[in-house]
Amino acid sequence: MEWIKEQIGHSPEILLFLSLAVGFWIGQFQIGKFQLGGVAGSLVVAVLLSLVGVPVDNGVKSILFALFIYAVGFESGPQFFKSLGPQSLREIFLALFMAVVGLTTVIIMAKLFSLDKGMAAGLAAGGMTQSAIIGTAGDAISRLGLAADEAQRLQANVAIGYAVTYIFGSLGAIIVCVNILPRFMGKGIADDAIKAEAERLKGAVVFGPGQEPAMPEIVGRIYKVGAAAGKTVAAIEASAGANTVTVERLKRKDHPIDVTPDTVLREGDIVLIVGRRPGVVALSDTIGAELQSAPGMDLVMTTEDVVLRNAAYANRTLGEIKASTSPLLKHGIFVVGIKREGDSVALADATAIKVGDVITVYGTDQDIKRVVTEAGVPLPISIKTDWIFHGAGLVVGLLIGLIVIRISGIPLTLGAGGGALLSGLLFGWLRSRHQTMGNMPLPASQLLKDLGLAGFVAAVGLQSGLQAIQTIAQSGLSLFLIGVVVTLVPLLLTMLFGRYVLRYDNAAVFAGALSGSRSANPAFGEVLGKAGNSIPTVPFAITYALANVFLTLLGPLIVAFA
């Protein structure tokens, strides 16, 4: 063991990545409906590997967590700021109830088992995974006027209680939020996340990576002109409705013919018609026989995201623009999607567009260039992350985390995690308002979240696991079991309060709010993975920010009443 310790000591990151590899492997196994998950699996493996006795630098843990929480905030910025208001009262009450029940549970357990003030505060810090309690409780102990050695003993007990209970504090929150809560509600997190997203999008359809509709909205068909002989191209297009179909190509006696609105079709002509599926299908009986293919009729169509900058189109509906003489949505251009501040907007003639909207258009290169010139600027497509923007975002977040406000001598701070979350929310909102900056591809964001959270909990396990195991070996399981109670009772009571008093009825939203009210970042990571979208993030962000304040206040209160 000493030889192993010496060798790995030269490269302690080996243990970190070994925890991730083995942890995610263990986490994929399922027993009944219970699945540990990659984050919890990494924590368990890291605790076991801590027996090697090789420490991991605190800076590694801080960097990984900052990356995770910033990426979470960045993805949810637009929805978060839109959700603030009276509708956030549930999250406020949930976070407050969690803090009150947590305080009550710790004090009762301290009285029942004759725990001193330091040990009680450590139980709260670890069992409720709020590390800031260590600082506030330690500061409160130093103000009790005790002898120096007694104060040091109590402050040391804070650290011991924290080390013993933190591991299950993280694991227990995952079990409750990811496994118990959905079974208690009789609903799946993934199903409710899809349902909530559909309600938020108000009918707009959003396809996930690799998904596409079985029946595409825009189609192309080739016809041999029969019944439509003698009609002009303009008449054919108008018969299907404004901006519904376009005659893109015309071939007469095997020779291509330039298509203009006044071009008259002749019997035997071959035409390629592109447009919305109902309109194209409706024309099949009025043009002629459909052909499977025809030489020279292939056409490359392109999809482009365009950021609307031209104020002349602001607050005008799609129907108005189609019916006007404006060149924006004329011949050959089809609007297939609109996004506003990150949210998809339902496509309808009554939908008004606004400056800053990202409009997804479909057409030939020539037609799309016309739209870009008329409407605004194309949204750059890049696999690169804009680290000028996001580097600044992380700096701002970490600076916010340094701010400490003292109320009656009690230091209150968001810390690095809360600051990075707040900055991520702000910079995500800025990105939604200015789409040409702050690019972060979805795979890059997912990597930051996965590596950041799992790496953070693995670092915690490698740091605290050995001390926790040694303390349990010396004092028995009693302290650990008391920590289990401190972890589970507030979570379960808050779950009941949220379900029956606050009337949470969506499992994905409720799981996000519950994990945030307990500052349970590993639990939230697993909830987010189960959801498959960002629905749990907004309630989590609100309760997490509040929990950083409410739970931090528990330190002095426990020292006062335990």
Domain ranges of the chain: 218-291, 302-378
Residue 473 CB neighbour total at 10 angstroms: 9
Whether 543 contacts 517, CB under 8 Å: yes
Tokens of 317: 């509906």
Q: Say which residue, 547 or 329, is predicted with more confidence.
A: 547
How would residue 365 be classed by pLDDT, with cut points 50, 70 and 90?
Answer: confident
From residue 453, how far is each of 26, 118, 180 by CA, in Å? 17, 29, 22
Q: Pick the most confident of 106-115, 143-152, 334-343.
A: 106-115
Q: What is the pLDDT of residue 404?
A: 75
Q: What is the pLDDT of residue 410?
A: 62
Q: How far is it, in rounded angstroms, from Cα 93 to Cα 501?
A: 10
Q: What is the pLDDT of residue 304?
A: 84
Domains 218-291 and 302-378 are alike in CATH topology: yes
Q: What is the pLDDT of residue 241?
A: 73
Least confident stretch, 232-241, 267-276, 415-424: 415-424
Whether 498 contacts 514, CB under 8 Å: yes
Return the CATH architecture of domain 218-291.
2-Layer Sandwich (3.30)
From residue 101, how far is each of 294, 307, 365, 493 by CA, in Å? 73, 49, 62, 8
Count Cβ atoms within 10 A of the Cβ of residue 99 and give its class: 0-12 exposed, 13-18 middle, 19 or more buried.
buried
How would residue 414 be classed by pLDDT, with cut points 50, 70 and 90?
Answer: low
With vertex at residue 530, the alpha carbon angle to CA 524 and CA 534, rounded to the nearest 5 degrees, is 65
Positive or negative, the CA dihedral 156, 157, 162, 167 is positive
**Share above pLDDT 90 across residues of the chain, in percent, rounded to a whole number:** 19
Whether 376 contacts 307, CB under 8 Å: yes
Q: What is the pTM of this model?
A: 0.66
What are the residue ranges of helices labelled H in 179-283?
A: 181-185, 189-201, 233-239, 277-282
Mean pLDDT of 503-525: 91
Tokens of 31: 């027993």
Q: How far is it, in rounded angstroms, from Cα 295 to Cα 29?
A: 54
H or E, element range at 246? strand 245-252
Whether 431 contacts 390, CB under 8 Å: no
With vertex at residue 301, the alpha carbon angle to CA 298 and CA 305, rounded to the nearest 5 degrees, is 175
Q: Pick the most confident of 27-36, 132-141, 162-171, 464-473.
A: 162-171
The DSSP line for 11-38 is -THHHHHHHHHHHHHHHT-EETTEE--H
Q: What is the pLDDT of residue 328?
A: 67
CATH classification (class only), 302-378? alpha beta
From residue 230, how far is each of 155, 216, 254, 266 by CA, in Å? 94, 31, 19, 6
Mean pLDDT of 156-171: 80
What are the residue ranges of helices labelled H in 261-410?
A: 277-282, 284-287, 318-323, 365-375, 387-401
Angle between helix axes 554-561 and 132-142 (nearest 10 degrees) is 40
User: For the CA atoms of 356, 360, 364, 365, what is the dihedral angle to 10 degrees?
Assistant: 50
Q: How confident is the prediction for the chain on average, in pLDDT?
A: 83
Whether 499 contacts 56, CB under 8 Å: no
pLDDT by residue (tens digit) across 54-83? 878 878 878 887 888 788 788 777 767 776
Q: Is 486 helix (H, G, I), strand (E, B) or coil?
A: helix
What are residue 298's phi and psi, to 5 degrees? -70, 145
Q: How far is it, in rounded angstroms, from Cα 423 to Cα 376?
A: 29
How would residue 242 be classed by pLDDT, with cut points 50, 70 and 90?
Answer: low
Query: Which of the 8 DSSP states describes residue 175?
Result: I
Q: For residue 404, which of 390, 418, 392, 391 has the smallest C-alpha distance? A: 418
Whether 267 contacts 253, CB under 8 Å: no
Q: Pick the most confident of 93-107, 193-207, 263-277.
A: 93-107
